[in-house]
Amino acid sequence: MKCSIIPPYLLQRLASLEDPALAPVAAAARASLQRDAPFRGIRVGETPPPTTADRRSTLTTRTLRDADRTIADAGGTETLPGTVVRVEGDPDGSDAAVNEAYAGLGETHDLYRQVFERASIDDNNLPLVATVHFGDDYDNAFWDGERMVFGDGDGIVFTRMTASLSVIGHELAHGVTQYSANLVYQGQSGALNESVSDVFGCLVEQRSLGHSADDATWLIGLGLFTDQVEGEALRSLRAPGTAYNDDVLGKDPQPAHMRDYIETTDDNGGVHLNSGIPNHAFYLVATALGGNAWEHAGLIWYSALTNGTVPATADFATFGAATEQAAIDRYGADSPEHTAVRDGWAGVGVELAPLPAA
Amino acid sequence: MKVIVIRTGGMAGLRRTWEVTVDDQPDSESWAELLTRLPWENRPKAPAQPDRYVYEIRCSRRRVVLPEQQLTGPWRELVDRVRNTEAPR
């Protein structure tokens, strides 16, 4: 067992094993903690305080660097990357989309750095790049594996896609997922991928606005629709299915509960539809715990996403179990946090998989 | 003959459908020519990119599902033409 790649909270558990048959394991874990304690910032035998993010163990010291942002302009074409128009440190110019993308990348980078101690989306200080003015009347934004890409909207249904911080956070979170659990973009794992993006998109916006879980709108894409649309936003984590109801767009089709899970071949198996279910689970956990969602439910979700326990093909039950285990690891079994996580998933009708074996 | 384009996915997850009855079009011959150029058999699998559109195209009894990145050449020409001809529902 290579102790140096085991995260500290797991080493703590191994170090306190009492079974005599596992004594060598416990001893090895204690030795590893002792040897690495100066780098980890915790002492052997101490439980890490619950408010610090889990530290990822690496063999090398990973510095948390400032954001390194580049914004490019596709000029209404669909050619990527486009022409670079702003680099890190440049002041705001006259192009609102460029300014919004730059600011949004910064806010998102800051959430990961300050709250989750993550060095950019790959946890290795990856430069953040975005292209704006993609396409003609392009009502969309996406992550292409390397950069975020934003359209300008058609001005009839949608305004420009950079106008929403939750959308910017959503797109960048696809990058974080790619570099961590890498949830397959299909079926339930795809709906989880989408949900993780909605959750962290919300957290970027909430932290930027200083909204606690009780104050927050819990909406994705607030402000993207024009005045002509009967609707507030693209999605609601508080009440999936209620974000819009419009003559042209139809009604928000998201389910909030497993009983309404949508089996479809549309949309890679309904990834933007069924994300409503894990979205609502997060909302329930965050509001049960209160305070700032990024400091409580957000830490649990971030842990589960990045601690290596979620397979790329995870379904809701498996991901839910990973969040339950993350809550137990951080806060203890039967803590308010553990209870909130169990209740949150129960509230959307997801029966959790058995906890991963210790 | 009808050409049906169904677009799903995208960041907003909206479902839009466009339908053109080719025989009713004034330039039905050029539509027919475009339909003959559609590479129904040549569909390499492409990895999904988050929040990109997914296009389902139906014509006669044939059906194809393409990620937005693969909507190129005659497929792109067809979808652009369909969208310029009819409003979505």
- What digits encode the pLDDT tens for the residues A281-297? 999 999 999 999 999 99
Higher pLDDT, A20 or A188: A188
Q: How close B34 gets to chain A, by Cα (Å)?
A: 23
Write down all domains in chain A, each with its CATH number in brackets: 3-347 (1.10.390.10)
Of chain B, the end-to-end C-alpha distance in Å amounts to 19
Say how far apart CA A203 and CA A213 lie, in whole Å.
Answer: 9
Q: Is residue B85 predicted with pLDDT exceeding 50?
A: yes
What tokens does B61 get?
A: 């009894």
Interface of chain A against chain B, CB under 8 Å?
139-145, 158, 161, 167, 170-171, 174, 185-186, 190, 193-194, 197, 221, 224, 234-235, 249-250, 253, 265-268, 271-273
Does the beta-carbon distance from A190 to B48 stay under 8 Å? yes
Per the residue annotation, which of A100, A170, A171, A324 is the catalytic one?
Answer: A171
- Predicted confidence at residue A11, as pLDDT, reads 59
Per the residue annotation, which of A170, A174, A272, A296 is the catalytic one?
Answer: A272
- Structure confidence by residue, pLDDT tens digits, A122-166: 999 999 999 999 999 999 999 999 999 999 999 999 999 999 999
Q: Is residue A22 predicted with pLDDT exceeding 60?
A: yes
Averaged pLDDT of chain A: 89
Beta-carbon count within 10 A of A186 CB: 16
- Predicted confidence at residue B21, as pLDDT, reads 95
Which residues of A are less than 8 Å from B51 in CB distance? 140-143, 170-171, 174
Which residues of B are less than 8 Å from A312 in CB distance? none
Which residues of A are less than 8 Å from B54 in CB distance? 266-268
Which residues of B are less than 8 Å from A170 in CB distance? 11, 51
Please tell me which of the candidates A145, A234, A266 has its beta carbon nearest to residue B49.
Answer: A145
Pair B23, B32: CB distance under 8 Å: no
- Structure confidence by residue, pLDDT tens digits, B36-49: 999 998 777 778 89
Q: Is residue A44 predicted with pLDDT exceeding 50?
A: no
For residue B22, which phi and psi values (nearest 5 degrees)?
-60, -40
What residue of B is the nearest CA neighbor of A183? Answer: B50
Model ipTM value:
0.94
Say how far apart CA A246 and CA A228 lie, in whole Å.
Answer: 9
In the numeric block, the tokens 């797109």 are attached to A171
- Predicted confidence at residue A113, as pLDDT, reads 97
Q: Is residue A36 predicted with pLDDT exceeding 60?
A: no
Say how far apart CA A160 and CA A152 lie, in whole Å.
Answer: 4
Torsion of CA B33, B36, B42, B47, to 10 degrees: 50
